[in-house]
Chain A
Amino acid sequence: MGMTVAEKILARNGGLKKVSPGDVVTVEVAAVILIDNNFQANVRVDILKMRDPSRVIVAFDHRVPAGNQQSAAAHVAGRELVKKFGIKRFHDVGPNQGIAHQLIADHGYALPGTVLLCSDSHTCSAGVFNCVARGVGGPDVVYAAIKGETWFRVGETIRYNIEGKLATAVTMKDVFLDMAGRYGDHATLNVEFGGSGVAGLSMDARKTLTTMAAEISAEFATFEPDDVMLDWVRKRNPTPFEAVYPDKDANYKEVRKLNLSAVAPMVALPDSIIGNVRPVADAVGTTINQAFVGSCANGTLEDLTLVAKVLEGHKVSPNVRFLVTPGSNNIYREALRTGIIQKLADAGAMVTPSTCGACGGGHMGVVGPGETCITATTRNFKGRMGDPTARIFMGSPATIAASAITGVITDPREFIK
């Protein structure tokens, strides 16, 4: 039996001919990303040695610019580490700031066929670049920064063949929600994406899918390579790499179809995605206090452009706080250049600096007791965006924008025909 993309990447970087589900393998890590949260006083450790600082990237993202003294102190500690080891790829507060997973895309930090680590659970995002990428928590990311290696247990893989084309007003967020609703969680399993429908999807759209894979608890979410992806990386990173294709006789636990054409706008009801996905119609009419588009899943230029399109000729409801947070300052500047930010601001949205911000409920745009928010981010657990009595619905950026206009959860097809 042949190997899946994830198995081949693990084998290659573990110096093995073959790996199989159940094996525990030690692999070389090509890129390790430390984020500002890793430097908070209650988790920080003082790193004294690093095998290869050129593999390490430092990106401040969760609490940027610092909103309190603790976060400011974390940033100071992070800067000290950068200086001590001469780390070149550093994204401080400023023009190069952004959410780590978005910066990986912006700068081509994830090289196809390699292993990438960060503590953060949405690191699976980088799997869109044909990487084995995973969030591993604080201690493992420290270990990998020091030693340049980590361990993984090899899981079985479910292959998804993407077919068809997205309907108007439908995005990959809806496709993900639909998939999560249909198949539930994928704990201990890898997911692999390929198929004839991939060619029609932008990198931004594909990345929504791999980023959201954290919400189905997948180990790795990898895309099969194609020219669109390979060109994207080559344009941004001169380092040579060798992409990985699945073997023809790869051993999948199951092969499933994702038919893009059949997906309609979906939402997740408050407190979880798993077991909680519905057609948008089931939530339509629910009054909202806050709407948010941003995060490592939906802060791309494509997302912001879609929001501007929905808002065209409309104003944000006076009863709604509509926050839009670009995933990185690259995106922010590009959206300024193309006039998107002007349109968002004119319609009444608040465009914030790029950061995780309201997504994590710990920095800005925090929701209060009893409030209702609809969000195009990654996670809607109880208390995720602030007070645990707040209700958090999740949908696509188009659904969020449409809801921001009307003040109640709204089917985006009312605004984009």
Chain B
Amino acid sequence: MKYTARVWKFGDNINTDLILPILAFYLTPQEQTKFVFKANRPGWVELVQPGDIIVGGNNFGTGSSRPAARSLKNLGLGCMVANSINGLFFRNCVNFAFPAMECPGVFDGFNEGDVAEIDFDAATVKNTTQNKTLPGIALPPKLLELLKAGGIYPLLEKEGSIAPRK
């Protein structure tokens, strides 16, 4: 599983209130994407191209359990890497099938707009603009499989534990 695209940089302790603000709480998942980073980076959602990659600092996704990872996926982003990812947010990334990997030092390894090549199987992060490669932290095999399978709900649907979603 490989992603190649330009990167957008976000710093330390990016919280889920910034990704999915309370104002968007009752909206449909697609409508919610318009509010991503509205408070800290207004207008950004208009600039995102399908497949773009987020590069984050430390403890990306701290805060509440709201489905903020789903908003990043629905916005059309390809994947994300960060120095470190909040444990709860990471679970939601895997479960909603938004690929996310930790890679210590990745924040300083990119300028905004550089092109990244992220390989989840090899757990490597390449800055193709600067021709540098950083080692990422490999996802446990079980979670990588879950990501590739499209997250937790398709799995539960297939085995008949939940009703098919519309």
Q: Which residues of A contact B (CB under 8 A)?
A: 24, 40, 42-43, 45-49, 68, 70, 119-121, 134-140, 142-143, 146-147, 151, 153, 155, 185, 187-188, 217, 219, 272, 274, 360-362, 379, 381-384, 386, 388
Contacts and interface: CB of A to CB of B under 8 A. Distances in A.
B145 to A, nearest CB: 12
Interface stretch (B14-22, B106-114, B119-127): B14-22
A140 B152 contact: yes
Contacts of A48: 160-163
B65 A187 contact: no
Given A42-B32, A45-B165, A140-B95, A217 B153 contact: no
Contact of A146 (B63, B140, B162, B163): B162
A121 B152 contact: no
A49 B59 contact: no
Given A121-B65, A274-B13, 20 more contacts: A24-B142, A42-B32, A45-B162, A45-B165, A47-B162, A49-B161, A119-B65, A121-B64, A121-B88, A135-B65, A137-B91, A137-B92, A137-B95, A139-B96, A143-B95, A146-B162, A188-B87, A272-B15, A382-B18, A388-B38
Q: Which applies to chain A's interface (DSSP): helix, strand, loop or mixed?
A: loop
A137 B160 contact: no
Contacts of A146: 156, 161-162
A67 to B, nearest CB: 11
B88 A142 contact: no
A379 B22 CA distance: 13
A270 B160 CA distance: 46
A359 B1 CA distance: 40
Contacts of B39: 382-383, 388
Interface residues of B, number: 43
9 contacts: A46-B163, A47-B162, A119-B65, A136-B91, A139-B151, A217-B86, A360-B22, A384-B22, A388-B21
Nearest to A153: B140
A40 B65 CA distance: 14
Contacts of B162: 45-48, 142, 146
Nearest to B29: A42
Contacts of B26: 40, 42, 68, 70
B123 to A, nearest CB: 15
Contacts of B28: 42
B59 A185 contact: yes
